Structure 1
Amino acid sequence: MNKYAKRIINYVLPFFTAALSAVLYFAIPESGKQKVMDYPYYMFFLLSAVIVIAVLMIAGIFKKEFRAKLEFKLPLYAGIILFLGLLNTLVCKTRLLPVLYFPSLDKVCGLLWTQRVFLIKNLVFSLGLLVQGFSFGLVIGFFTGLALGYNRHVGYWLNPVTKFLGPVPTTAWIPLALSVFPTTHGANVFLIAFAVWFPVTLMTASGIQSVNKTFFEVSETLGAKTFFKVFRIAVPASLPQIFLGLFYGIVSSFATLMAVEMNGNSQGIGWYINWQKSVMMYDGVYAGLIIIAVLCSLILTLLFKIRDKIMVWQKGVIRW
Structure 2
Amino acid sequence: MSALLDAPLAPGFETRPEPRAESVAAPARAPVAPPVRAAAPRWWGLGVVAALAWAALGVLTYAWPNQQVGFSDWAYTAEFAYGTGAVALALLVLSLGGPWLAQPRARVRPLGPWLVALALGLAVWELVTAKLAWLPTPFFAPPQSLAEVYVSDWRRLSDSAGNSLILLASGISAGAAVGFVVGVLIGWSRRANYWIHPVLRVLGPVPTTALLPITFYFFPSSWSTAVFLIALGTGFPVAVLTWSGVASVNRNYYDVARTLGASNTFLVLRVAIPAALPQVFVGLFMGLGHAFATLVVAEMLGVKSGLGWYLTWAQGWASYPNMYGALLVMALLFSGVISLLFALRDRLLSWQKGTVKW
Task: State the match for 2:73 in structure 1.
Answer: 36
Tell me: CA distance 1:19–1:165, structure 2 relative to 1, closer, same or farther (3 Å). same
Counterpart of 1:80 (choices 111, 115, 118) is: 118
TM-score, normalised to structure 2, is: 0.81
> Gaps (5+ residues) in structure 2?
1-37
Task: State the match for 1:156 in structure 2.
Answer: 194
Supply the AA of the counterpart residue of 1:27: A
The alpha-carbon deviation at position 47 of structure 1 amounts to: 5.5
List aligned pairs for 1:232-311, cutoff 5 A. Answer: 232-311=270-349
Q: What is the CA deviation profile of residues 106-128 of structure 1, one whole-angstrom value per residue up to 9, with x for unaligned ones?
A: 11221112111111111111111
* Bigger Rg over Cα: 2
Task: State the match for 1:24 in structure 2.
Answer: 60
Counterpart of 2:247 (choices 209, 231, 235) is: 209
The alpha-carbon deviation at position 220 of structure 1 amounts to: 1.0
The alpha-carbon deviation at position 49 of structure 1 amounts to: 5.5
Task: State the match for 1:143 in structure 2.
Answer: 181
Q: Quick check: 226-235 or 256-265, which moved more?
A: 226-235
Higher relative contact order (CA 8 A, sep 6+): 1
Task: State the match for 2:145 in structure 1.
Answer: 107
Aligned length: 317
Matched residue of 1:96: which SS?
A: coil
Tell me: CA distance 1:277–1:215, structure 2 relative to 1, closer, same or farther (3 Å). same
Please give the alpha-carbon distance, in whole angstroms, between the structure 1 residues aligned to 2:100 and 2:287.
Answer: 39
Residues 146 and 322 of structure 2 are in contact (CA less than 8 Å); yes or no, is this contact kept in structure 1?
A: yes
Counterpart of 1:199 (choices 237, 243, 265) is: 237
Matched residue of 1:262: which SS?
A: helix
Residues 55 and 85 of structure 2 are in contact (CA less than 8 Å); yes or no, is this contact kept in structure 1?
A: no
Please give the alpha-carbon distance, in whole angstroms, between the structure 2 residues aligned to 1:255 and 1:45.
Answer: 34
The alpha-carbon deviation at position 143 of structure 1 amounts to: 0.3
Q: What is the CA deviation profile of residues 83-118 of structure 1, one whole-angstrom value per residue up to 9, with x for unaligned ones?
A: 112211211111311112101211122111211111
Please give the alpha-carbon distance, in whole angstroms, between the structure 1 residues aligned to 2:74 and 2:357.
Answer: 41
Task: State the match for 2:22 in structure 1.
Answer: none
List aligned pairs for 1:178-189, cutoff 5 A. Answer: 178-189=216-227
Q: Quick check: 103-112 or 8-17, which moved more?
A: 8-17
> Gaps (5+ residues) in structure 1?
none
Q: What is the CA deviation profile of residues 249-283 of structure 1, one whole-angstrom value per residue up to 9, with x for unaligned ones?
A: 22211111100000122211110101111221111
The alpha-carbon deviation at position 69 of structure 1 amounts to: 5.2
Residues 47 and 92 of structure 2 are in contact (CA less than 8 Å); yes or no, is this contact kept in structure 1?
A: no
List aligned pairs for 1:55-70, cutoff 5 A. Answer: 70=108
Residues 204 and 242 of structure 1 are in contact (CA less than 8 Å); yes or no, is this contact kept in structure 2?
A: yes
Matched residue of 2:304: which SS?
A: coil
Work out whether 1:46 is the aligned partner of 2:84. yes
Work out whether 1:130 is the aligned partner of 2:168. yes
Please give the alpha-carbon distance, in whole angstroms, between the structure 1 residues aligned to 2:274 and 2:225.
Answer: 33
Residues 7 and 71 of structure 1 are in contact (CA less than 8 Å); yes or no, is this contact kept in structure 2?
A: no
Matched residue of 1:163: which SS?
A: helix
The alpha-carbon deviation at position 164 of structure 1 amounts to: 0.6
Matched residue of 1:168: which SS?
A: coil
Kindly report the root-mean-square deviation, in angstroms, between the aligned alpha carbons of the 2 structures. Answer: 2.7
TM-score, normalised to structure 1, is: 0.90
Alignment identity in percent?
34
Please give the alpha-carbon distance, in whole angstroms, between the structure 2 residues aligned to 1:313 and 1:278.
Answer: 50
Task: State the match for 1:12 in structure 2.
Answer: 48
The alpha-carbon deviation at position 135 of structure 1 amounts to: 1.2
Q: What is the CA deviation profile of residues 117-172 of structure 1, one whole-angstrom value per residue up to 9, with x for unaligned ones?
A: 11111111111111111111011011011111121221111101011111000100
Q: Quick check: 73-82 or 259-268, which moved more?
A: 73-82
Tell me: CA distance 1:24–1:201, structure 2 relative to 1, closer, same or farther (3 Å). same
Q: Quick check: 99-108 or 292-301, which moved more?
A: 99-108
